[in-house]
Amino acid sequence: MPPEQFRAYGNRIGFMHNTAGNPESKLDPFWDTEEDCVACRPGGGGRGPIRELGYFYEMLLARGQRAGTRLLAPQTVEALTARHRVGMVDETLGHTLDWGLGFMRDSKQYGSALVPYGYGEHSSPRTFGHGGYQSSIAFADPAYDLVVAIVVNGTPGNEQHDQRFHALTSAVYLDLGLVG
């Protein structure tokens, strides 16, 4: 996020709160400063409107095109979202996960209904996306022509986070009538 955009957002920037402890507190004041929000950190720390992240996944789902504008070649999208690392334990998340080039692939086939940063019980094996630190998830499910982008501002701990996002993402499929 450019510094001028951070300033333009003003008090509309969402703050992260540690909801695992009592009393609730900001996760880390540094995360919400201009310095942090404008820093380039390819491994994390992306900030911006959740609808923009949804648009990004719409473009990927449409094989590189959105609103009549081609942003990526279909072959590039295919390469980004294909399974590249398969059947290996992710040392950070402690679970066997398949990865594309920067995208987590649906990995329920390895067991555990609560795959860390997973896409819920109804997502198809073709689903790809990514989550943010106990706060957000965005994904595309080509089998259902579905894009989901969700953000919250409380970090309740990994187990509670996985449970709530599993419930939320599963409910999306049910509420849309995509599964019975």
Pick the CATH number of 49-175 from 1.10.287.3510, 2.60.40.3140, 3.40.710.10, 3.40.50.720: 3.40.710.10
Read off the tokens for 18: 């540690």
Domain boundaries, the chain: 49-175
Tens of each residue's pLDDT in the chain, 180 residues: 789 988 998 888 777 777 877 655 666 555 677 888 788 877 666 777 889 999 999 999 999 999 999 999 999 999 999 999 999 999 988 889 999 998 999 999 998 767 877 898 899 999 999 988 778 889 999 999 999 999 887 788 888 888 888 899 999 999 999 997
Residue 97: its H or E element = strand 95-99
Q: What is the pTM assigned to this prediction?
A: 0.86
Span between the terminal Cα atoms of the chain, in Å: 41
